[in-house]
């Protein structure tokens, strides 16, 4: 993969559109890469499933934690069902239980910045599954509140590592024709995990110490994830990059990468594996003089442009009010006369099903329609829904059906756009040499902005009111539309190497 070097002769297109070399020179220099000869990769569907499935379990466990915590806090606070002597928890303590995994995810994102390039994506996901396992066990068997919070933080570290490594591993190992679909499917697994968590919570809510079983249910899934990642091969691109950066013999790395690619594609790849690996190696040779990348490189050249695109998307993903809108879900449905609204778990299952269906639609069309159309269409719907919610809380309080329609529109449009496409774009937009560090910053921005919106919501609501708060979110959604239209590129059908050569 072509990356920035200090060589003044290397052609480069800057973020602001100024070219160091002419477009013709860029095209001629990289004609073997971007001529289109590699537009279709041969692969076996069966072989392509497992390199997606086991990393996607990391997303499933993330979603499951969100869903299970919803029921676990209800169970834990009950004097008859908690099974503990410390059930009388304050609002701050409940907040720590709910947000403990979020703090852990922030820690995991910071750790990913320093260990990702050293460990490689496969081993990072193995570490993530171990954190999931330990965190779930500590939480489920916690004898007191402090130990439970520690378990939640450890589990959250697993989330941070998984959300960093899983989309990147899938992106680097998936055939380019279905890369968008597979990474979007990871978002489907997050939603599926949430639905599973809500369902398990509703089934075990009346069991004494049910919260222990809710958190303990993630143990077997984390074991399957860890065993699966142990069995899967390393990313061929990572093996080649390590050799190029002087961490191994290039020829040995090439042979190992060929073996890994054959395992990832199955028998359908035929004799084309060496040719594909040589193309990757040829592209990576552009960085042979740079060896290790520095921290400063992340904020220069191609990676700066990728960082603006990726971090901008995940920032808008959160600050358009996603946590806040879902916070109001039960209240809105209850005001509309839905009897199930009094039962938080049933409301969550209803919204979870909608999220699952709309994410499935996004998965089916993302590689056909492209990333930009889904983002522009979905975020437009989000903006409309936010202004409808603002209208309901300002002067349409006697028309709850408006709020219900706005809520459903928001959830559906979010799962068509920001939900899957945000994670997809950050996993494929960064240059390989700095992909690990760049993605870790994007993931950190995601969790940090999630925490900011979550914690700032109540004070802002008290200060300016719910109606005006949704107006603010709506304006931010309009700004995100401008950002998508002018900044975010289309990457449909391109290999990771072509994305860097053509777009960055």
Q: What b/e readout covers 237-262, taking b as 16+ CB neighbours within 10 angstroms? A: bbbbbbbbbeeeebeebbebbbbbbb
Write the pLDDT tens digit of every residue in 404-431.
889 889 999 999 999 889 888 888 888 8
**Who contacts 377 (Cβ-Cβ below 8 Å, separation ≥6)?**
413, 416, 417
More confident residue, 291 or 64: 64
How many C-beta atoms lie closer than 10 Å to residue 142's C-beta? 21
Going by C-alpha positions, the residue among 9, 111, 132, 8 that lies closest to residue 68 is: 132
Write the pLDDT tens digit of every residue in 200-220.
888 888 888 889 999 999 999
pLDDT of residue 112: 87
Q: Determine if the pTM surpasses 0.85.
A: no
Residue 14: pLDDT over 60: no
- CA dist 502 and 73 (Å) reads 49
Residue 462: pLDDT over 60: yes
What is the dihedral angle through the alpha carbons of 423, 486, 384, 193, rounded to the nearest 10 degrees? Answer: 0
> What percentage of residues in the chain have a pLDDT greater than 90?
31
- Mean pLDDT along residues 477-501: 89
Residue 90: pLDDT over 90: no
- CA dist 287 and 4 (Å) reads 7
> What percentage of residues in the chain have a pLDDT greater than 70?
85
Report the chain's mean pLDDT, rounded to a whole number.
Answer: 82
Residue 21: pLDDT over 50: no
Q: Is 493 left (phi over 0), alpha (psi -120 to 50) or beta?
A: left
- CA dist 272 and 258 (Å) reads 10
Using DSSP, state whether 35 is helix, strand or coil: coil
- CA dist 81 and 75 (Å) reads 6
pLDDT of residue 294: 64
**Who contacts 23 (Cβ-Cβ below 8 Å, separation ≥6)?**
13
């Amino acid at each position: 993969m072509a990356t920035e070097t200090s060589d003044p002769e290397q052609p480069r297109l800057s973020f602001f559109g100024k070219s160091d070399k002419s477009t013709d020179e860029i095209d001629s220099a990289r004609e073997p890469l971007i001529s289109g000869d590699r537009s279709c990769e041969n692969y076996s569907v069966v072989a392509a499933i497992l390199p997606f499935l086991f990393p996607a379990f990391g997303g499933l466990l993330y979603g499951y934690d969100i869903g299970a915590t919803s029921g676990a806090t209800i169970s834990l606070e009950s004097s008859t069902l908690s099974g503990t002597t410390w059930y009388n928890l304050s609002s701050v303590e409940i907040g720590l239980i709910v947000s403990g995994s979020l703090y852990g995810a922030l820690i995991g994102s910071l750790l990913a910045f320093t260990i990702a390039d050293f460990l490689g994506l496969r081993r990072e996901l193995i570490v993530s599954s171990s954190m999931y396992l330990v965190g779930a066990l500590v939480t489920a068997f916690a004898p007191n509140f402090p130990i439970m919070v520690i378990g939640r933080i450890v589990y959250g570290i697993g989330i941070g590592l998984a959300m960093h490594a899983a989309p990147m591993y899938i992106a680097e190992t998936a055939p380019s024709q279905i890369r968008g679909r597979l990474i979007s499917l990871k978002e489907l697994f997050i939603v599926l995990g949430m639905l599973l968590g809500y369902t398990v919570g509703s089934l075990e809510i009346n069991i004494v110490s049910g919260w222990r079983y809710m958190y303990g249910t993630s143990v077997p899934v984390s074991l399957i994830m860890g065993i699966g990642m142990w069995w899967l091969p390393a990313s061929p691109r990572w093996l080649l990059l390590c050799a190029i950066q002087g961490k191994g013999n290039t020829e040995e790395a090439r042979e190992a990468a060929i073996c890994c690619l054959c395992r990832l594609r199955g028998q359908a790849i035929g004799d084309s594996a060496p040719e594909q690996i040589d193309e990757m190696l040829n592209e990576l040779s552009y960085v042979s003089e740079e060896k290790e990348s520095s921290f400063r490189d992340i904020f220069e050249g191609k990676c700066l442009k990728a960082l603006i695109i990726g971090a901008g998307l995940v920032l808008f993903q959160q600050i358009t009010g996603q946590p806040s809108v879902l916070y109001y879900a039960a209240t809105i449905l209850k005001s509309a006369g839905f009897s199930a609204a009094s039962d938080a778990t049933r409301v969550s299952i209803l919204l979870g099903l909608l999220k699952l269906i709309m994410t499935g639609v996004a998965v089916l069309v993302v590689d056909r329609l492209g990333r930009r159309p889904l983002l522009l269409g979905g975020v437009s719907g989000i903006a409309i829904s936010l202004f409808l919610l603002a209208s309901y809380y300002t002067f349409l309080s006697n028309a709850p059906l408006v709020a219900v329609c706005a809520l459903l529109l928001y959830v559906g449009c979010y799962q068509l756009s920001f939900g899957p496409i945000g994670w997809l774009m950050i996993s494929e937009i960064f240059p390989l040499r700095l992909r690990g560090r760049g993605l870790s910053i994007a993931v950190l921005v995601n969790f940090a902005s999630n925490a900011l919106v979550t914690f700032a919501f109540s004070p802002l609501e008290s200060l300016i009111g719910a109606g005006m708060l949704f107006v603010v979110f709506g304006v931010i959604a309009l700004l995100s539309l401008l950002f998508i239209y002018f900044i975010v590129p289309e990457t449909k059908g391109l290999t990771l190497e072509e994305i860097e050569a053509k777009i960055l």
